[in-house]
Every structure is written in structure tokens, then in C-alpha cells.
Chain A
Amino acid sequence: MELQNRVSSDSGAINWFVQRLSGLVLLILLLMHMWIMHYSGGEEKILFDAVIKRLSNPYLKVVDICFLVLGLYHGLNGVWMVIQDYIKSATWKITLFSAITFVGLVLLVMGVVAVVPISKEWVNLP
């Protein structure tokens, strides 16, 4: 009965492992993020000009995109794990899995589009 309700043939072992691996990398990225954003310097860093100056650095863009991809994967995979624990209906599982994937892809595109095009020139805009 249980087996028939499963959405895929995947046992979840890979998800389980990647969840831990991404968690570990996210912890390191989070420490970097907290240091750069909240401890080294003042409040004005979270205003337009300062953010543009900082995010026009291509290395920080790469770090940010890694943070985005891993954060979304880890977060939405976690939601999927919670759903699997409480919802047994195959139809609901497929529906929710599709919804999560869709939300994930939309947010990934939103994040990439928001960060990648940033250039120093934007500071001169009115």
C-alpha cells in the first residue's frame, strides 16, 4: 500500500545526503553573509548605492548565486520532506511536488535576474 502511494522510485537517500551537505555549505555561507552584512560597518550598507557597489563585484555575485541555489534547494527540499511525512495521497503529493518545483524555479529566476545584471553604473542613475 505504502509503495503504491510513492511519487517516484527514489528512496530519498540522495535527498537526505544532499540536505546535510547543502546545510553544511549554507552554514559557512551564512557566517560570511552575517559578517559582511551586519558586523563589518554601519547601517547605511543596506541602502541602494551601497548595495549596488557591493553586488557589482563578480565574486560576490557568484557567492550570492551559490547561496540562492543552495538556500532554495535546502529550504524547498525541507518543505517536501515535511509534506511526505504527513500527506499520503499520491495525487496531493504530485500536485504539491509540482507546486514546490514551480515556486523554486520562479524564485531562482527572480534571484538570478535581480543579482546578475547589477553594474556600478547604476549608482549614477537618478
Chain B
Amino acid sequence: MKTKKIICVIGSGAGAGPIIYELSKAGHKVIVLEKGPWLRTEDYSKDEIAMTRRDVVTPKLNNEPQVIEFQKLNGDWEGKPNNEGGQNFWNGSVVGGSSNFMSGYFHRMKPNDFKLLSTYGPINKSNVVDWPINYEDLEPYYDKVEKEIGVSGKIIKHRFQEPRSSNDFPYPPLAENYVSELLDKSANNIGFELMPIPRAILSKAKDKRNACYYSNFCGSYACNSNAKGSSRAALINKALETGNVELLSLSKVFHLETNGKGKIVKAHYHSADGIDRFIVADIFVVAAQAIETSRLLLLSKNKEFPNGLANNNSQVGKNLIFSAGGVGGGIIDYNEFSEQDAKKLNMSGVFVNRSLHQFYEIEKDNNSKIKGGIIDFLFEHANPIGKSIRNKWNNDDTILYGEEYQKKLLHYFTKQRKLKFEIFIDWQPNDNCFVSLDPKIKDKWGDSVARLRLAANTHDLEIGEILAKKGKAILKELGCKDIYSNISSYPPPNLQAGGCRFGTNPKTSVLDINCKAHDVENLYITDGSFMPTGGSVTYTWTIYANSFRVAEYLINTL
């Protein structure tokens, strides 16, 4: 190494972890500024009250609201702060970020996802573009994630299997529920083929992390064996052992100060003791999750960058994307099965882990193809409070209470189980999905909050409906009752990306091919903000992989 550099990393989730880990391992000094508190594995429990019913790992919206725009009948957009109701786009403001609470359904993007425009052509009112890199450029880092974060699964070759440099996953598949076997049979009966879902969950111990203990409370909860590949458990804990990391929690960065020559010199932050402080560093890496990353850049406007840092071409915050799609499900009635099979279906903790890739592309009548998506199958989350609340309504939408409600609950909890599917398709980036700063609403520190316009493209709904039919067909063949689906234009708050696209043209992108801001000498962005499109998968694996890619670039160039 030539000289030891100081790297300031803002955020500590999946986009930050690889930078923290790799650069500290390479001998650089890494200072991490995380807005949330530092909770360790032993601080978490399977407490539904704390983890899902209260704002424990996200800020109180009265302190840190976001403004959500909605379109009025006359076409105008009007904003409403979400502390007055509406979706909450905060996810995991703690050390390790929302990777602590992911379910760890891990899918790579497929080669064509890097060139959607050139493969499938333009889509009306969509800003779809090709990525400036190919799948082959990212593949070594997908592979690295499998080994460093720990991905379990089994490769079964199929038409849309991504090319791989390793034969199979480094960790064998997690234990499965009997329903996985039934799903496979049902899919085969109607000409479909399901694939095992890779999971960022260790099926065997790795380093100081233990294997999955099948707690039955995975998504929305932190892992108590560290089997889940959160940024904290898989990377930050190891990075701390290098002695090169300084981790400052409860440290909210609100301004990146430049020197008038296109270089950041200080990150100013609100500290835990209420005093505003700053960090001086050579390189600044922002990974605060897509919405807050764009917000920080917009908040950092100065004479040099009057529209916000790295925003001289007005691209920051634009083309925000989410995982489009929807959900569906059906009821497995234990009365339709033998007592022994019902017991197996009722077994908690073990996973479903099945996915349908077959409609990743959809044939149109004229022999052309359009991009489809994938479907993941899973059981309804075990959270009993959530289940019970969803059941407190009659079919006519009046409230159900008393003994009839109790009977319904008893049946719901003991005589059946809900099998669900989640549809993932591309969210078309568009001119009406972006982050800006609200001109009036401030957070508890007096900083302007993010204002979100979140319009979806009707194309996404059409594709979602096509896939929903496939998911429902499998559940029908399996014998499920009360089968439903819900394709929505609402963005899932936990699956956000874009806002600071990478690309080769500074006029249409914020970041260059290495995720360095075009306009700023020492600013890198490594959360999902860089993604021009998202593929029809959850983003975390790609965010991890790209962050490892940028980390390698930084190590080679510093």
C-alpha cells in the first residue's frame, strides 16, 4: 500500500459493509458515521411488540418525517408528511442498517438485466437504460458475496440460470418444509419448474457466526445466531477486529462540505451528545439507503454546487426505483391432508425456499419478448399479532369480534397455514418517481426532509398481473383455498434504489462507472442509489456485490 488514507463512510448497511471491511483490512483508516444506535446481537430478541409494533429500529416520524406526494384529480401533486399517515420509508436506522432485518432472499440480477433497453426496447414513459457495466463485470463480486456474506442454496440448471464462476453455493441449502416438495410436484404437474432460493443465511457455521437455528422469526428481526448475512454480523464485526475502524453511532450526517475545487473536505454530523461535529477524510463514501443518500447530497448545496452536491446536471434524486410487483397467497387446509402430512406442513422454522424463474421473459403474440420477473414462495410470517389483526374483519368489512372472532383465530392458527408468493418485476424508472427536499418540513435538527414522488408505470402492473396468474395456478394445483393476489403500484419501502444513477454521461447520471460522483473528486456512493434499473429481484445481493467492486477499485487506486 502506498499511503494510509482516511475513508469516511456514511451509513453501515449492505452498501457500506464491504467498503468498511475491505478498506480496513487493506490498512486504511475507516471512520463510520451511522445515524442510528449500535445494537449488538445479544440486544435483539424475537419480540413482536418491539420489532414490528413500535418504532424501535426506525426514527419516530414526528422527529424525522418524510413528505409523500400524491396526485390530485386535477393532476397536481401535493405533499403530506408521513407522520400524519402514509407509508414509512425508513428502514433499519441502526448499525448494520436494514440488512439486519432482511429475510435474505438472495437473487443475482441476470445478464439481460444489465441491458434492458437494448434487449427489450423502450417502454412508454419509462427512463429505462442499459447499465454501463455487464453481468460479467459484476459476476466475480456476486461470487465473493456468496463466500464472504455466506449464501446457502443449491444450483439447478435452468434456462435463466445466471452464469457462475463457482459450481455451487459455498453453503448447502437450509432445511425445508414438506410444502416445498408439494410445490415442486404441483408446479411440475402444470408444466412449471421451481428452483431453490439462495438465502443469505448460513446453513453451517462460518468464522464466529453460528448456523441458522430456525427461529421462525427471520424477516423483520435481527438474527440471534448471526447466521443471517447482515452487514453488521458478516462484515463490520470482522472489520472492527482490524483495529482500523472507528464506528460512531447516533451520528447523523447533514452536510458534506467541499473546498471550492470539487473535493469534499468534511462531513458534518449531529452527534449523540447534541453537538454538531465534523470528520475530515480523504475519501467519502455515502451509503445511507437510496432516499437518504439523495437527500444528503441535496442538503449539501453550496456556492460550488448550488443545486446540491454532485447535482450540477440536476440528476440527484431522479429515477428512484423500487421492486415492483405484488403478493398473492392461498390457504392450506390441514383437513385436506393426512394427520402426518398436516404435522409436517405445520412444522415451524424450516423454510419454503422455492422460486419460479420461468417467466423471467414473457413471449408476446408476435414472437417478441418482454421482460417478466420472478416469483418467490414463502409461508405467511409467523408474527401472531399481525395475523390476528388481519383477521379481525368480516367479509363485508365490518369488524369481527367476540366468540366468532375467537373461533376464526383458533382455526386460523391451528387448522391451516397460509402459503404466499411475492412477485418481483422491474420498476420502470420514470419522471414522476424521485426524491427532492421539502421546502417547508424540517426534521428535529432543522434539516429539510425528503419529499418523495412515487408514481409507478402502468406497464409494471400489467406484467405483475401476468405473473400473478402463474403463482395462483401453482397454488391451485397444490389444493390451496381462498387464493388471491394483489398487484400494486405502491412502492415497497424496504426495497428502494436509484436516485444517483451510474453511467458514462454526466448529463444523465450522477456517478461514473466506479460509482464516483462525476462532479466530485472524492465522493463515492455504494448503496442501491447507483442502480439505473433493478432487475426483477430484491437488491441486496447486487448492492453487496457492487460495494465489493467499488472497494476493490478504491484499494487499487488509493
- A and B: bona fide binding partners: no
Interface residues of A (CB under 8 A from B): none
Instruction: Give the A-binding residues of B (Cβ under 8 A).
Output: none
